[in-house]
A and B are shown apart, each in its own frame.
Chain A
Amino acid sequence: MRLARILGSSGLTFYTLIFFAFIYVPIGLIVIYSFNADPVNMMRWSGFTFDWYKQIFGLKNAASEAALYIESTDQLLAAVRTSLIVAASTTMVATVLGTAAALAVYRFSFFGKRFYRVLLFVPMLMPDIVLGIALLIFFVGVGISLGIGTIIIGQCTFLISYVFIVVSARLAGMDRTLENASADLGADEWTTFRKIILPQVMPGVVGGAMLAFIISMDDLVITYFVSGTSTQTLPIFIFGMLRRGIKPEVNAIAVMMLLFSFTIAAAGLYLHRRKR
């Protein structure tokens, strides 16, 4: 009996270890190899170096080394900048529209409300590739030239869904009698919205915005379809590099993206804790 329990529990421990190892070992390896000095075979450790990071930022001229694929640092920085602009814009638009939609569905009853709710869920569930092709056909058909504008519009189509869902979940947990209580104590609707509803959904809005930002920074498929030939976001840039083989700088870029995401997630968690 006792033995079985110990075996059972150690079996479970073993499974848990394997489970997390499967997720985190590859990521850990990327971090380790981003500091590996060996330029040709990443998997062979040949000393510690910051070279790949320096190269990304153009601090070390490595043009002589055949192993490098970043022809110019400017190209990488441009991709990062494009990604940031896209992410900031889509986050703003998706947060405002997604929150507004969630509030409308919460606050009002109107004809076809359920149907609207489903419509708002669908883009999130739709396969990226379908959405990507559909958007591409639409943009080309309507005659909008592809570029940063179409990337922003394209990403917003599904990011609004994410924000809508996160904010709606927050609203669903809210007690409606609080609005009555506020009105009862003399507050008009706008004041009630400002002082009672908004502060309570704020963690949801912030959470939705951060989710939108991270997903936007990360999106490849849809962005790839609607970006055209001259605009590159960071994921597209990295994807382009990979097609020519996995090279050390990719690790360094990956590590920095990881740090960036962690920072945003940590900030989100911190804000969330404080707000409660």
Chain B
Amino acid sequence: MGESIVRLEKVRKTFPLPEGGTVTALGNINLDVARNEFLTLLGPSGCGKTTLLHSISGFVQLNSGCVYVDGEDVTDRPPHRRPVNTVFQNYALFPHMTVGNNVGYALDIAGARRAERNTQVGAALDMVGLGGLEKRLPRQLSGGQQQRVALARAIIARPKLLLLDEPLSALDRNLRQSMQIELKTLQAELGISFIFVTHDQEEALTMSNRVAVLEGGKIQQIDAPLAIYNKPSNEFVASFIGASNLFRGTIENGTVTTDDGDKIRTSASTGTGPITALLRPEQFSIANGGEIAAETGRLDVSIRQIVFSGAGYEIHGRTDNHHDVVASIAATHQALVAGAEASRKATLTYDPAAVHLIATEGARS
């Protein structure tokens, strides 16, 4: 088939501001979601994640653009006639209905037969691990259980696409991690596409086939988690996802000379002009005082602070040219870290091939 389950074409949505003027929640969004894909929308608060979901489920009127679900143009269809279901951020369970009636709602609306409906409700509740709780009211459930009811309610009619708006944000860390795995399993079992909203980057990276990073109503980058992490396409993505060391400067003969005066080696062989180099903290090693190979990159820093984080150490250093650098060093290098702490100095090394180059903001336009 190859045809995508959702396609957004030049979708644009602005909201009027009470004091006049407008805010652009979505600016010309183009998006294709493949069948069976687990796509995560990631971005800071107010970047348009919810609005993007609403444009698919039909809760906002677009200024322009088209929305296709399963090949059909649904742009002008009201929400109740779109083959899409949603798990809402605050669950939105019907407080006056039992769990069973909440979960069975879509089937009741569709006019399913009683017996059929009841077995399906039972099956959906079993699937989320809440079998036998049909008679309870939503307020008699814990937050995690309510979340599962919302999930069961949204999947019972087997939509082609499930939209999840920060479904895990209200859960505590442990419950959240187990729900992440369950959601992933469920998605594989049901064989439906998920569009999942979160502002937790770790969650986005662990769960998705692809991640779309949003900012200011625009998709900054859409890619596989690894590519998003290692090859961010701009400085926003680089700094939003994970800790990052950004070195702005100009490149010549494969070496970036930063505006501060530091030199970063890269494996690039051509190109000159303004550029930003990215090094993730874990791409640094700490030199052991021995010979450093000529082709290895090095950065001498003075130590500002060393933090033990469980899996290793975070070294916060500063170059001679006053550029702050963060390096994470595995706990096995404890002795070297201790030495650095004593001398207040360290030499950090990195593989020039690991340096990712980003077109400098402003220089692009």
A residues with CB within 8 A of B: 175, 177-178, 180-188, 191, 196, 199-200, 275
Contacts and interface: CB of A to CB of B under 8 A. Distances in A.
Nearest to B89: A177
B110 A186 contact: yes
5 contacts: A177-B90, A178-B94, A180-B92, A184-B85, A184-B86
Contact of B157 (A182, A185, A196): A185
Given A191-B109, A200-B95, A200-B96, A183 B90 contact: no
A164 to B, nearest CB: 22
A186 B94 contact: no
Nearest to A176: B92
7 closest Cβ contacts across the A-B interface?
A: A181-B92, A183-B79, A185-B106, A177-B92, A186-B109, A183-B80, A184-B86
B105 A185 contact: yes
Given A185-B109, A186-B110, A188-B80, A180 B88 contact: yes
**Interface class of chain A by DSSP:** helix
Nearest to B86: A184
A181 B78 contact: no
A181 B106 contact: no
B153 interface: yes
Given A177-B88, A180-B88, A186 B80 contact: yes
A180 to B, nearest CB: 6
B57 interface: yes
A183 B90 CA distance: 16
B109 A187 contact: yes
Given A180-B79, A200-B95, A186 B157 contact: yes
B81 to A, nearest CB: 8
Contacts of B59: 180, 183
Given A180-B59, A183-B79, A186-B80, A196 B109 contact: no
B18 to A, nearest CB: 13
Contacts of B78: 183, 188
A191 B92 CA distance: 17
Nearest to B90: A177
A101 to B, nearest CB: 23
Contacts of B85: 184-185
Nearest to A178: B92
Interface string B138-160: 00000000000000011001000
Nearest to A181: B92
Nearest to B163: A184
B11 to A, nearest CB: 19
A118 B109 CA distance: 38
Nearest to A192: B80
Nearest to A191: B109
B86 A181 contact: yes
A95 B94 CA distance: 25
B94 A181 contact: yes
A175 B90 contact: yes
A192 to B, nearest CB: 8
A67 to B, nearest CB: 56
A199 B81 CA distance: 24
A183 B85 CA distance: 10
Interface in B263-285: none
Contacts of A191: 109
Given A181-B92, A186-B106, A196-B94, 5 more contacts: A178-B92, A178-B94, A181-B94, A184-B57, A186-B81
Contacts of A178: 92, 94-95
Interface string B105-135: 1100110000000000000000000000000
Contacts of A199: 96
A114 to B, nearest CB: 13
Contacts of A196: 94
Contacts of B94: 178, 181-182, 196
